[in-house]
A and B are shown apart, each in its own frame.
Chain A
Amino acid sequence: MVARIDLDLAHAYGPNPQQDSDYALLPMKMSFQAGGAYALLGPSGCGKTTMLNIISGLVKPSQGEVRFNGDIVNDKTPQERNIAQVFQFPVIYDTMTVADNLAFPLRNRRMPEAQIRQRVGQIAEMLELSGQLNQRAAGLSADAKQKISLGRGLVRPDVAAILFDEPLTVIDPHLKWQLRRKLKQVHQEFKHTLIYVTHDQVEALTFAQEVVVMTRGRAVQVGSAEALFERPAHTFVGHFIGSPGMNFLPVTLQAGHLQVGEHRLPLGDQLHHGLVGTESLKLGIRPEYIALHSAPAENCLPAQVLRWQDLGTSGLLTTQCAGEVVRVRLANHSDTPQVGQTVYLQVLSIHTCFYEQEALIA
């Protein structure tokens, strides 16, 4: 039965965690809806694999609980939770053929042989392994081995959830696209709860409906691709999502205007409302949303051009503004500014975000 998964837990691998850095996962609450496709996105060591292993039951959380459809499953094995999981590096049973590898999870659960054969046939067809079913798995390439691992994750029809731990790391780029599309198809067809761990934002954003961005044992934002792009809840999200990431400028709030270095920007009433009672802030604006002027204009900050990169469909301008590096993406770059030239950046718009202690406040 497809499961809704609720986490309310923390995890430390060592005993007696004292400070934040002792935790692999800091205390958190999170829910995965039944039938949803989620991605856990974050850099290495952020706790995403730990979270995945806690969900599957390979790791027991040191505090708190894991619930499947409301029932606490802390003490249940992966088998009892009825979870399928695919690991980063291919795990295959050396002495078995490809077909036996795919059938293994079903045989262990005593599915009738005729049904197994049918199911293995389907999965092999989908992953384009049909021609190799009778070959010994040990002799195959890394790609094919990982397809077998994926197949063993997908072969059980009745799982509560399927978890993927960076399953496409060892796969070459061309096949990666193909398999990612396959996984999406599988989700649309069978509506399993899928949780997909990755450090690749493109993979996360194309695969999942909801992306959980993690850093240092904390889930800093859960949201759609659009939400992560438009309103990063944490400076880390702004920085991590997007290529390049969001620009940040330290600003202070003074009676009705913003002080950015030695420059002043007037604040509109709407913005001002959200910022009451705060002083030291960070202003965040994505490179895509900065308007560029070649002459001094109202509400603009002067910036020095450091570098110009032509990216084909767009251009990337790197500037120095109020002591910070600010990048501007320009779709139309007919008249490119010269290096060393002064340009004027309009950083205040509806896309501008404000952060206090790394968290979004307006």
Chain B
Amino acid sequence: MKPVNQKAWFLILPVLLCVAFSAIVPLMTVVNYSVQDIISPERRVFVGTEWFAAVMRDQDLHEALWRQMVFSLAVLVVEIPLGIALALSMPAKGWQASITLVLVALSLLIPWNVVGTIWQIYGRADIGLLGAALQAMGIDYNYTGNARDAWLTVLVMDIWHWTPLVALLGYAGLRSIPDAYYQAAQIDGASKFAVFRFIQLPKLRGVLMIAVLLRFMDSFMIYTEPFVLTGGGPGNSTTFLSQYLTQKAVGQFDLGPAAAFSLIYFLIILLLCFILYNWMQSVGTQAKESHHG
């Protein structure tokens, strides 16, 4: 038997400490809050699963969760194909490529709250370019008063802000495909669509998986932009999960329910990422599995 060198544990100790202080301890604090009613540091009561039960019954929360699911789904459905299309149409080399890369990456460099502010002004019906233009075309667009308009504005803003990330990831993936594949496809007489379907898309699977997971997680936790743009309104039409959580924890100082919900939130993201990841892993590998029997 090989002797085990236990000294190696000391080498990962610094990492363990860092992770403990930055992630595990704060998370345990949340767990702490979620099972107790803390009135002051001296006066606290263990309440078990009461907060969890309470947030599960919360109608507003159900609505926020549903709104969030639809929003994240819409983000993925629009941004992934649009990002791929953008990546495919970007020039591959020369100065055009450099300029395009900078232009495409521009929106990624703008801080979240500034993005919210830009769109707040951009969408105003009186002075905003978008809002005024729509009004002039006879569309009664008003994101501060109309729930649907507000929701759509937040969605379009996210698409504007984050599709470039998908495009850049896709672009990097496309550049890593060796020329020989395109040459072989040309020799084999493949159409443009066949090249996309049988070479580019399969070779992009890895980066697209990262893009899908990143966009899903980020959009599921969206907070700053709708906060700046609509403040969650009108009504609750753009109150997504993070915002709801913040209202509970900071606005109403309901730390117990907020902590319980944070943990559920965390588990939902983990679960959905797990499902997405496994689904994307299995796409395209089915032929292999079905013939291994």
Complex: how many Å from CA A95 to CA B194?
12
Contact flag A108-B187 (CB < 8 Å), given A95-B202, A136-B291: no
Contact with A along B25-51 (1 / 0, CB 8 A): 000000000000000000000000000
Chain A positions 77 through 113: 1 when the CB is less than 8 Å from some CB of chain B, otherwise 0: 1110001110111010111110000001100110000
**Is B198 a contact of A134 with CB atoms below 8 Å?**
no
Determine whether A135 belongs to the interface, using a CB cutoff of 8 Å to chain B. Answer: yes
Main secondary structure of the interface of B (DSSP, over half): helix
Q: For the complex, what is the distance from the CA of A88 to the CA of B199, rounded to whole Å?
A: 18
Task: Identify which of B115-123, B153-161, B176-184, B240-248 touches chain A.
Answer: B176-184
Q: Are A94 and B190 in contact (CB under 8 A)?
A: no
Q: What chain A residues lie within 8 Å of B285 (beta carbons)?
A: 136
Interface size class of B (residues with CB under 8 A): 20 to 34
Is B188 interfacial (CB 8 A cutoff)?
yes
CA separation between A342 and B195, bound complex, in Å? 68
User: Does B189 interact with chain A (Cβ within 8 Å)?
Assistant: yes
Report if B186 contacts A (CB, 8 A): yes
Cβ contact within 8 Å between B202 and A84: no
**Known A-B contacts A91-B181, A93-B198, A95-B202; A79 and B186 likewise in contact (beta carbons under 8 Å):** yes
Q: Binding site of A, secondary structure by majority: helix, strand, loop or mixed?
A: mixed
A218 within 8 A of B: no
Q: Do A85 and B190 have beta carbons less than 8 Å apart? A: no
Knowing A91-B181, A95-B198, the reply to whether A85 touches B288 (Cβ < 8 A) is no
**A56 & B187 in contact (Cβ 8 Å cutoff):** yes
Specify which of A77, A109, A134 is in contact with B186 (CB 8 Å cutoff). Answer: A77
Q: Say yes or no: is A149 at the interface (Cβ < 8 Å to chain B).
A: yes
Q: Does B203 contact A (CB under 8 A)?
A: yes
Q: Are A91 and B202 in contact (CB under 8 A)?
A: no
Residues 163-198 of chain B, each 1 if its beta carbon lies under 8 Å from chain A, else 0: 000000000000000101101101111110010001
A135 touches which of B181, B187, B284, B291 (Cβ 8 Å): B291
Neighbouring A residues of B184 by C-beta, 8 Å: 85, 87, 91, 149, 152
Question: Is the C-beta of A138 less than 8 angstroms from some C-beta in chain B?
Answer: yes
B 76-135 contacts with A by CB, 8 A: none
- B8 CB–A CB distance under 8 Å: no
Closest chain B CB from A158 CB (angstroms): 12
- Indicate whether A339 reaches chain B with its CB closer than 8 angstroms: no
Q: A135–B290 Cα gap in the complex (Å)? A: 9
Whole-angstrom distance between the alpha carbons of A97 and B199 in the complex?
A: 14
Q: Of all chain A residues, which has the CB nearest B285?
A: A136
Chain A interface residue count, Cβ-Cβ cutoff 8 angstroms: 30
A97 to B290, CA, bound (A): 11
CA distance A104 to B187 in the complex (A): 11
Q: Is B137 an interface residue (CB 8 A)?
A: no
Least distance between A91 CB and chain B CB atoms (Å):
4
A84: which B residues are within 8 A, CB to CB? Answer: 187
Q: Interface code A39-71, partner B: CB below 8 Å = 1, 0 otherwise? A: 000000000000001001010000000000000
Other-chain residue from B180, B203, B284 in contact with A87 (beta carbon distance below 8 A):
B180
**Do residues A96 and B198 form an inter-chain contact, with CB atoms below 8 A?**
yes
> Smallest CB-CB separation from B189: which chain A residue?
A108
Find out whether the CB atom of B187 lies under 8 angstroms from the CB atom of A138.
Answer: no
Do B287 and A95 touch across chains, with their CB atoms under 8 A apart?
yes
Tell me the complex Cα distance, A146–B178, Å. Answer: 16
B189 touches A109 (CB 8 A): yes
Residues of A within 8 Å of B291, CB to CB, are 97, 134-136
Question: Counting CB contacts under 8 A, is A139 at the interface?
Answer: yes
A56 to B183 Cα, complex, angstroms:
10
B288 engages A83 (CB within 8 Å): no
The answer to whether A136 and B187 touch across the interface, beta carbons within 8 angstroms, is no
Closest-by-CB residue of A relative to B184 is A91
Q: How far is the CA of A97 from the CA of B178 in the complex (A)?
A: 21
Q: Which of A85, A87, A93, A138 has the most CB of B within 10 A?
A: A93
A134-B180 Cα distance, complex, nearest whole Å: 25
**How long is the Cα–Cα vector from A89 to B178 in the complex, in angstroms?**
10
Nearest residue (CB) in B for A87 is: B180
A121-148 to B contact mask, C-beta < 8 Å, 1/0: 0000000000000111011000000000
Contacts of B199 in A (CB 8 A): 93
The CA-CA distance from A139 to B291 in the complex, in Å, is: 12
Given contacts A79-B189, A105-B188, A109-B189, contact A94 B202 (CB under 8 A): yes
A138 surroundings in chain B (CB, below 8 A): 288
Q: Which residue of A lies closest to B198 (CB)?
A: A93
Specify which chain B residues have a CB less than 8 angstroms from the CB of A93 in the assembled complex.
Answer: 198-199, 202
CA distance A135 to B289 in the complex (A): 9
Inter-chain CA distance A138–B205, complex, in Å, is 14
Indicate if the CB atoms of A95 and B284 lie closer than 8 Å: yes
Question: Which residues of A, 171-193, contact B by the 8 Å Cβ criterion?
Answer: none
For residue B203, which residues in chain A have a CB less than 8 angstroms away from its CB? Answer: 94
Rounded to whole Å, the gap between the CB of B285 and the closest CB of chain A is: 7
Note all chain A residues with C-beta closer than 8 A to B287. Answer: 95-97, 136
Cβ of B159 to closest chain A Cβ, rounded Å: 29
* Cα distance A87–B291 in the bound complex, in angstroms: 28
Residues of chain A within 8 A (CB-CB) of B183 are: 53, 58, 85, 87, 91
Query: Chain B contacts of A91 at CB under 8 A?
Result: 180-181, 183-184
Nearest Cβ in chain A — how far from B208, in angstroms? 14
A266 to B45, CA, bound (A): 118
Which of B178, B186, B190 is the one whose CB lies under 8 Å from A104? Answer: B190
Q: Supply 24 A–B pairs (Cβ within 8 Å), ascending by A.
A: A58-B183, A77-B186, A78-B187, A79-B186, A79-B189, A84-B187, A87-B180, A87-B183, A87-B184, A89-B180, A93-B198, A93-B199, A94-B203, A95-B287, A96-B198, A104-B198, A105-B189, A108-B191, A135-B291, A136-B285, A136-B288, A136-B291, A138-B288, A139-B288
Measuring CB to CB, which residues of chain B are less than 8 angstroms from any residue of chain A?
178, 180-181, 183-184, 186-191, 194, 198-199, 202-203, 284-285, 287-288, 291
User: With A53-B183, A97-B291, A104-B190 given, can you name 12 additional A-B contacts, CB distance below 8 Å?
Assistant: A56-B187, A85-B183, A91-B180, A91-B183, A93-B202, A96-B198, A104-B188, A108-B189, A108-B194, A136-B288, A136-B291, A149-B184
